[in-house]
C-alpha cells in the first residue's frame, strides 16, 4: 500500500483508509463483533494505517476499533470525532470546550489508547465560536492526549478560523464522482493552507459500486431510506454515471468501485479516501484501487462524460444538509 501525507503535517497514512462507521451504524444491522475485528485486522495486513470512527457511531464502534487495533497500535493512525450532544447525532451539535475534553477522555478509554491521532469536530457548532473549539483541541494536543486536529463538513470560513488558532491537519467531507461540490472552494482553500482531505462516501454511499439500482431495497434502519438521491427515481436517473464507470473499468480490468476511488486519488496527492465496508471481499476490492493508474486520457474521458450527466437528487434531506458547509 502506498502512503500519503496529509497536507503540510507530518502525518503519513496509507493512500486509502478504512471508514468504520458502517460496522455498527447507519447502514442497517451492526456487523458481528468478531467479524468486524477480523475485517479491521485484515485491513492492517493489507497495509491500511488510517482507521476512522466517532463517538456518534456508538460506544461499540470505538470499542471494536480499539480492540482490533490494540496489537498494532504504534503502526496505525486512529481518527475519531466529537461534536454531538450526548454523542447522539439526532440531538444536534455540542462542541463546548468541557464537552470536547469529556469526549476525548471517554474515547481514549473506549479505544484502549493513550492518544487520539486525529480528533475531528464532527460538524461545526453554530453556538460555539470556532476559536474556542480549536483552542480546546490545542490544549489536548499540548497535553499529548491528541496529536492532530481535524474538521468535518466545515465551510471555508470555519476552516480558516480554526486553522488560525490550531493548525488543521485534515478536513473530512463527502467527495466523489457524484458529489463534486468541494472542488469549488474547499479544495483550493485546503491547497492554500496545506490541509489534507479525507473524503468519506467515496463510493457514493455504495451507489458507485454498480450493485445498487432502482429496485434495491434497504433495511429499515439504513439511513439511505431518507436520502433524496436514493429515491428509486433518482437511482434510475443516475444509472448513467455507473454505466460510465463500468465502461472505463472494463478497459482497466477493474471494477466500478476501483475506478471511482482511483479517480479521487488522482485529484490531489493529499487526498486519502476512507471507503467503508463490512465484507472482506469489498475491502480487498477497494484497496486494489491504489494500484490503478488513470491516464490523462482516462481522466479527460471521465470529465467529458460527467459534464453531460446531471446527477439527480439532494445528497442529504434538508435537516441534515443544514449541518454541512458551515
- Catalytic residues, by residue number, are 57
Q: CA–CA separation, 245 vs 227, rounded Å?
A: 22
Q: How far is CA 123 from the centre of its chain?
A: 13
| Sign of CA pseudo-dihedral 81, 87, 90, 94 | negative
Contact between 23 and 30 under an 8 Å Cβ cutoff? The reply is yes
Q: Are strands 146-152 and 196-200 parallel, antiparallel or unpaired?
A: unpaired
Inter-axis angle of helices 130-142 and 97-110, nearest 10: 40
Q: CA-to-CA distance for 105 and 99, rounded, in angstroms? A: 10
- List, in order, residues 6 or more apart from 290 with CB less than 8 Å away: 1, 2, 15, 16, 261, 262, 265
Calculate the dihedral angle through the C-alpha atoms of 55, 257, 282, 314, rounding to the nearest 10 degrees: 40
Amino acid at each position: 500500500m502506498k502512503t500519503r501525507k496529509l497536507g503540510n503535517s507530518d502525518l503519513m497514512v496509507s493512500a486509502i483508509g478504512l471508514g468504520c462507521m458502517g460496522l455498527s451504524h447507519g447502514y442497517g444491522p451492526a456487523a458481528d463483533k468478531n467479524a468486524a475485528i477480523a475485517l479491521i485486522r485484515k485491513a492492517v495486513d493489507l497495509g491500511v494505517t488510517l482507521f476512522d470512527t466517532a463517538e456518534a457511531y456508538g460506544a461499540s464502534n470505538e470499542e471494536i476499533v480499539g480492540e482490533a487495533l490494540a496489537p498494532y497500535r504504534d503502526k496505525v493512525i486512529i481518527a475519531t470525532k466529537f461534536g454531538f450532544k450526548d454523542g447522539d447525532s439526532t440531538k444536534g451539535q455540542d462542541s463546548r470546550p468541557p464537552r470536547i475534553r469529556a469526549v476525548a477522555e471517554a474515547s481514549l478509554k473506549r479505544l484502549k489508547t493513550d492518544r487520539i491521532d486525529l480528533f475531528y469536530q464532527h460538524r461545526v457548532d453554530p453556538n460555539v465560536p470556532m476559536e474556542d473549539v480549536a483552542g480546546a483541541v490545542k490544549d489536548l494536543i499540548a497535553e499529548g492526549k491528541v496529536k492532530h486536529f481535524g474538521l468535518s463538513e466545515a465551510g471555508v470560513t470555519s476552516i480558516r478560523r480554526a486553522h488560525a488558532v490550531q493548525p488543521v491537519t485534515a478536513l473530512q467531507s463527502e467527495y466523489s464522482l457524484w458529489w463534486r461540490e468541494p472542488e469549488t472552494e474547499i479544495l483550493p482553500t485546503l491547497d492554500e493552507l496545506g490541509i489534507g482531505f479525507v473524503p468519506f462516501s467515496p463510493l457514493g454511499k455504495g451507489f458507485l459500486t454498480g450493485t445498487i439500482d432502482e429496485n434495491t431495497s434497504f433495511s429499515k434502519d439504513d439511513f439511505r431510506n431518507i436520502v433524496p438521491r436514493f429515491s428509486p427515481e433518482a437511482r434510475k436517473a443516475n444509472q448513467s454515471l455507473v454505466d460510465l464507470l463500468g465502461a472505463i473499468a472494463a478497459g482497466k480490468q477493474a471494477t466500478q468501485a476501483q475506478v471511482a476511488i482511483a479517480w479521487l486519488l488522482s485529484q490531489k496527492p493529499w487526498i486519502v479516501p476512507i471507503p467503508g465496508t463490512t465484507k472482506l471481499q469489498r475491502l480487498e476490492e477497494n484497496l486494489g484501487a491504489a494500484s490503478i493508474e488513470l491516464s490523462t486520457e482516462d481522466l479527460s474521458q471521465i470529465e467529458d462524460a460527467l459534464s453531460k450527466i446531471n446527477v439527480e437528487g439532494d445528497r442529504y434531506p434538508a435537516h441534515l444538509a443544514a449541518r454541512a458547509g458551515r
